Amino acid sequence: MQLNDLLKVIQKKIDLNKCVASMKRTGYISLIEPFLKSVQFNNNAAVNEALNEIYLEKQDYKQLRESIKNYDSFESVGLAINLENHNLAECRAISALLYRKNKKFTKSIEVSKKDSNWKDAMETVAESKDSDLAEDLMRAIMDMDDKELFAAMLYSCYSLIKPDVAMELAWRKNMMEFVMPYFIQQMSDMSKKLENVQKSTEDIKKKEDKKEKERIEKPLDVPGGMFPGDAMGMGMGGPQIAAIMPAPGMMQQPPMGGMGMQPPMGGMGMQPPMGGMGGMPPPGGMGGGFGGSQF
């Protein structure tokens, strides 16, 4: 009678696996159920399996379901297979739950549909996030002509049901009044999405306009303080160069022979200087020109 108290006192010093194995050999594993419950938070496989066996033997299906939901460290697939064809509907429901926890959603829905356990089937579809499974279950419910169940399906799996499928099934079975809440919510969600998209587009356009305005107003960075030519086509540095250039017609011709430069032959109506290149007359020539009398 004091066994559970003893185990609770020394629980930090004992091996839970050995403790469960020893009690199973005696055939009195159910005697330490309170102790096993107190240490189940460790999620030990031996403890979980022992408690599940105790609950199943006692037909305490509520405790068994809670244990399976909260603690997953045990051989769940094997237990699901054993309970799938059990005589009791509660055991078959636990089998469907075990299949769901192992991500075998199609198998879980199949087991639930056999027992018309539509609530569990809807929860499995919602957890799977699979639109195809949702449509299959919707069509199965439609064949039953159960309008309230049809509305419950639309509510439970709202995000997985396509609007065209809901409209088709409701129209075929004359259940449009039961599908209207679904469509009202769909329209509300669609309006919110459009508003968000429009707002995002406007924000992007404002940013682009601001960047373009800043680009236009930004002064050009030209080296040397030069500026682009004006409308007269003066080119780079036009205003500054125009200020230092003489007016047209005021440019003077360099003196002939000056610094060894010659105007082009026959250019601008002028005759070439006598004496050929260099602007000097030949020796013994005419006394005209620069220094002619000396020669």
Q: Under 8 Å CB-to-CB from 65, ≥6 apart: which residues?
A: 93, 94, 97
Of 183, 147, 143, nearest in space to 162 by CA: 183
Of 130, 69, 123, nearest in space to 101 by CA: 69
User: Comparing 30-44, 83-97, 164-178, 236-250, which segment has the lowest mean pLDDT?
Assistant: 236-250
pLDDT, position 59: 86
d(CA 112, CA 96): 6
pLDDT, position 39: 92
169 burial via Cβ count (<10 Å: 0-12, 13-18, 19+): buried
pLDDT-derived band of residue 23, with 50, 70 and 90 as boundaries?
A: very high
- pLDDT tens for each residue of 193-223: 888 888 888 888 888 877 887 778 776 555 5
Mean pLDDT of 152-157: 88
What's the predicted TM-score (pTM) here? 0.59
Mean pLDDT of 226-250: 49
Q: What is the residue whose two structure tokens read 């406007």?
A: 202
pLDDT, position 235: 47
d(CA 228, CA 209): 26
Of 69, 70, 116, 118, nearest in space to 97 by CA: 69
